[in-house]
Amino acid sequence: MKLILIGAPGSGKGTQAKYLTEKYHIPQIATGELLRAAVAAQTPLGRQAKTIMDAGQLVPNDLVIGMIRERISRPDADQGFVLDGFPRNIAQAIALDDILDKLGKPIDAVLQFDVDAEMLIQRMVGRLTCISCGALFNLFTQPPAIDDKCDECGSTLHHRADDNEEIIERRLTIFETLTQPLSDHYKHKGILHMVEAHGDVNEVTKRVKSALRGLRPKRTPVKPMLAPVATPDKNTKPKVKHVKIAERQPKLRPRKVIKTLTGNTTVKKLKIKKELPIVVNKKIIKATAKKKIDDAKAAADAKALEAALDKQLKELEKELKQTKAQLKEASVAERALIRAEKVKDAALKKALHAETTKLKKKQK
């Protein structure tokens, strides 16, 4: 089963993705985890993505699509997969359709999780994630038994820094402008299923089951196989038919009389038929030449793209260094300001104490 889960941040995609992976025994593919794994492994794509993310920029579509293509091609995704958080826009959706068509793995269904904005903010503000096992909790709807401790493995629970109201509202705005049009794209393809994602996890899981009930994985057409040809057994000897041939006496031909040529005798030239070499089809020549030109152009484009990416990465690294330097200067200035405030507060306290002492003396 090949599924895509789309929905706003906090709509419950990750929780339902884990249920689907266990039900169909297929991997969950999340772009965030792929990026983190690539960065940790220091792959070429991971290094590029890290530089861009450190600069606070969005990872380009080319890098994300390359990671998705490599992940879907692995053997454990032959029977299907659950895409969580990808695609995020129409460009990524079209690129994904092209990849899956070439691999012969069309999408079976797209589940869109629909939740109110207030509910989403509540879910994300109270969301807690286990650092070790990845279990999810919520301070409002599903709190852990012990504060900051995972019920599953006992490890520390983590609250994401970007789970605050200001950033959440910004992420919801980005979702509405970029990701929401995906529903129209997949609705046109006839594979979109809307899932009401309010309520507890079990209620949403029941709605997911209802949406997928009766759905069968799509299969690519298989070419008819030719009937197998029986191979002869090596141990059995082939039957030999014996044909009796009547003995014949060899037929003697009369010896030709060779006449010597004398005088003005003309000799006719023999016509020898020459075999011409096989001529290669012109279409094949043109196709071969065109392929070489296309390959050279593709190599040149790839080289130019690589050079452009390198240039962009260098610019990003330069900007990152400048930003770090500015942050350092701001930090130094902030510390100096804090020290000045402390000195000022101490002086004010000292002056206040002196005034208080004078007043007490006067009163006496």
- Position 254 in a domain: no
Pair (38, 141) in one structural domain: no
Pair (105, 176) in one structural domain: yes
Q: Which residues contact 191 (CB under 8 A, 6 or more apart)?
A: 107, 108, 109, 110
Residue 214 scores a pLDDT above 60: yes
Pair (96, 192) in one structural domain: yes
- Position 81 in a domain: yes
Q: For 162-196, give the DSSP string.
A: T-SHHHHHHHHHHIIIIITHHHHHHHHHT-EEEEE
Pair (64, 202) in one structural domain: yes
Residue 356 scores a pLDDT above 90: no
Pair (7, 149) in one structural domain: no
- Position 141 in a domain: yes
Residue 115 · residue 12 · CB < 8 Å: yes
Pair (30, 118) in one structural domain: yes
* Dist. CA 50–CA 48, nearest whole Å: 6
- Position 249 in a domain: no
* Dist. CA 120–CA 325, nearest whole Å: 37
Residue 97: CATH number of its domain: 3.40.50.300
In terms of average pLDDT, the best of 57-71, 87-101, 302-316 is 87-101
Residue 180 scores a pLDDT above 80: no
Residue 122 · residue 140 · CB < 8 Å: yes
**Interior angle at CA 116, CA 111 and CA 120, nearest 5:** 85
User: Which residues are annotated as catalytic?
Assistant: 13, 88, 127, 160, 171
**288 token code pair:** 């071969």
| Residue where a domain stops, chosen among 173, 191, 212 | 212
Higher-scoring residue by pLDDT: 21, 34: 21
**Interior angle at CA 112, CA 107 and CA 116, nearest 5:** 170
- Which amino acid, residue 133? C
Pair (7, 145) in one structural domain: no
CA-nearest of 8, 27, 92, 99 to 58 is 92
Q: pLDDT (tens digit, 9 = 90+) per residue, 90-126?
A: 989 999 999 999 888 899 999 999 888 777 777 777 7
Pair (148, 59) in one structural domain: no
Range of 6's domain?
Answer: 2-126+163-212
Looking at residue 361, what is its pLDDT? 79
> How large is the greatest C-alpha to C-alpha distance in the chain, in angstroms?
171
Residue 246 scores a pLDDT above 70: no
Q: What is residue 142's DSSP assignment? A: B
Looking at residue 164, what is its pLDDT? 66
In terms of average pLDDT, the best of 158-162, 178-182, 207-211, 290-294 is 207-211
Q: 2: pLDDT confidence band, cut at 50, 70 and 90?
A: very high
* Dist. CA 228–CA 238, nearest whole Å: 20
Pair (75, 201) in one structural domain: yes
Residue 28 · residue 95 · CB < 8 Å: no
Pair (141, 46) in one structural domain: no
Pair (70, 183) in one structural domain: yes
* Dist. CA 96–CA 61, nearest whole Å: 11
- Position 226 in a domain: no
**164 token code pair:** 């605050």
Computed from CA positions of residues 277, 283, 284, 285, in that sequence, does the dihedral angle turn out positive or negative?
positive
- Collapse the DSSP code of 60 into the 3-class scheme (helix H, G, I; strand E, B; otherwise coil) and give the result: coil
Residue 112 · residue 193 · CB < 8 Å: yes
Sheet holding 136-138, edge to edge: 136-138, 127-130, 157-158
Peptide bond into 277 cis (omega under 30): no
- Position 305 in a domain: no
Residue 348 scores a pLDDT above 70: yes
In terms of average pLDDT, the best of 104-118, 211-225, 236-250 is 104-118
Into how many domains does the chain fold?
Answer: 2
Q: What's the rounded mean pLDDT across residues 355-359?
A: 81
* Dist. CA 12–CA 9, nearest whole Å: 8
Range scoring the smallest mean pLDDT among 78-87, 178-187, 217-226, 267-276: 267-276
Looking at residue 27, what is its pLDDT? 93
Pair (208, 86) in one structural domain: yes
* Dist. CA 146–CA 143, nearest whole Å: 8
- Position 259 in a domain: no
- Position 297 in a domain: no
Residue 225 scores a pLDDT above 80: no
Q: For 270-337, give the DSSP string.
A: P-PPPPPPPPPPHHHHHHHHHHHHHHHHHHHHHHHHHHHHHHHHHHHHHHHHHHHHHHHHHHHHHHHH
